Chain A
Amino acid sequence: MTELSLRLAVSVVQIAAVMGVVMLTVMILTLAERKVLGWMQDRMGPMEVGPYGILQPIADGLKLFFKEDIVPAGANKFMFSLAPILAMVPALIGFAVVPFGPSHKVELFGITIEPFVISDINIGILYILAFTSIGAYGIILGGWASNSKYSLLGGLRSAAQVISYELNVGLAIVGVLILAGSLSLVKITEAQAGGFWHWFVFALPAPQIFAFVVFVISAVAETNRVPFDLPEAESELVAGFFTEYSGMRFAFFFIAEYANMVLVSCVAAAMFLGGWNAPYPGTILAHVGLEQVAWIENLAWFTVKAYAFLFLFFWLRATLPRLRYDQLMKFGWKVMLPIALGNIVVTSIAVYLFPRG
């Protein structure tokens, strides 16, 4: 009984820590996106709240929290309230299986805990894919329940887009799964240890570089970001599926979008870029004899990789215009899908001929 409650307490602490970090990252991202976008477009971004606008996320959060909560006339009230939660929870729940640091175990009060992953389940990546699909329901329901044509169109577009591109995400990672021989993100990351030439983007016998490109493009599409932001196209659909949302419910959709970005970045870092592994064998701190704190270096590498990926999101947004709907579908089904399928075939043959030791 005491062991159970102890395990529960440890899990709750871990969940609270990860949630805190994710929410902090979302706050930083909202500011960083506006700043980076501004700098790339010869503007300054937010400058009013605090020095150089660094308190802008807090001001935004307070504003959204105190804003009036409007339910439009004719909206399905239950679905309207459910949709933001259905969008946000799956985005946050995926972090449960992401390994943020090395997977050594710590003995604490007689139980073994893994400090850098909440739960190492053996189908980790499948679990993430399953829950990100549920996130699409939130968007579709939000669009339908608003009783507005813009919302409905945004929701429909989102449904078609997420389904088409989730297929590509799923197929793009199959090559990695073949190489790693596991669905657990912890095992996949561990299989990439020992220098950047062991990362699955470059790993022999089958470098997953094409799969990585497919994954990046599909991830951008799946998180409804520019250039695939058709569900919330401002110039056509006002704000897409969250046109009618305001206040906290809008904030939930907003957090869901950014949490999805963070999750996708973490998955990309863990599956293709070696996760918490440094791009050289071992860690510098371990080499100089500080094995106890080597996890700091690993954690830093994971953060750097995830943030580099997030920067790519902003960079693409500053550069590219929005795709047309038929272009989006054509690109997804006629270009990305064959590449992902071909990658699976090539990887399978390569791994069969040159089995990994």
Chain B
Amino acid sequence: MKKLVAWFKTIVFYEILVGMKATMSHLLHYKPITVQYPHEKRTLPDNYRGMLGLLRYDDGTEKCVGCDLCEAACPSRVIRVVSAEVPAEPTKRYAKEYYMDMTRCLFCGMCVDACPVDALGMSREFEWSVYDKRQLHLNKEQLLAIGDRAFPVREKRLELQHPNVAFFNVSFGHVPQKPN
């Protein structure tokens, strides 16, 4: 009897009919999960890690002190920093040149974690496709521009405004000195 049922199921293509019923039910209860991307966009999660940018203080000076820790932390060797002394202030340093090769970046956020002065930030930009990949080799001005437009309110962590930390920053006199 069991064999007869199996045989009958074979000759009427029972399994195929079950599959066709499933596809037909999806056709009749049509609920697409597609997001029509350029026209409608997903809401990004709060901790989305997008394009990297260099940040400034509210007064417009760069936060970066040229310590090279981001370069050391980066697993893909995206970052290249050329550090230099601030003219006429031998205790302070800044990044004279700062390059990021975004073709290699995997957006892990380790450079942001490594930065002692919170000079790097990850924006929520992700539409960075270009026709020429050399355009993804960003210099300091471009990174600062990304930071400027991504973080209009610059202070993410107020404790880094503390004089003990700010002492190492490129302040050119605007940030208070460490009290003696």
Contacts and interface: CB of A to CB of B under 8 A. Distances in A.
A36 to B, nearest CB: 7
Interface stretch (A41-49, A118-126, A268-276): A41-49
A319 B20 contact: yes
A98 B75 CA distance: 68
B61 to A, nearest CB: 47
Interface string B14-50: 0010011011101100111110100000000000000
A41 B24 contact: no
A44 B23 contact: no
Contact of B23 (A43, A47, A315): A315
Contacts of B26: 39-42
A18 interface: no
B42 to A, nearest CB: 16
A319 B32 contact: no
A103 B12 CA distance: 36
Contact of A43 (B20, B22, B34): B34
Contact of B22 (A38, A316, A319): A319
Tell me the dominant secondary structure on chain A's binding face. Answer: helix
A42 B35 CA distance: 12
Contacts of A41: 26
Interface in B35-77: 36
A315 B36 contact: no
B33 A40 contact: no
B31 A40 contact: no
A38 B31 CA distance: 11
Contacts of A315: 20, 23-24
A47 B33 CA distance: 14
A43 B33 CA distance: 6
A82 interface: no
Interface of A: 36, 38-44, 47, 315-316, 318-320
Given A44-B32, A319-B22, 19 more contacts: A39-B30, A39-B32, A40-B23, A40-B24, A40-B26, A41-B26, A42-B26, A42-B30, A42-B34, A43-B32, A43-B33, A44-B34, A44-B36, A315-B20, A316-B20, A319-B16, A319-B19, A319-B20, A319-B23
22 contacts: A36-B27, A38-B32, A39-B26, A39-B27, A39-B30, A39-B32, A40-B23, A40-B24, A40-B26, A40-B27, A42-B30, A42-B33, A42-B34, A43-B33, A44-B32, A315-B20, A315-B24, A316-B20, A318-B23, A319-B19, A320-B16, A320-B19
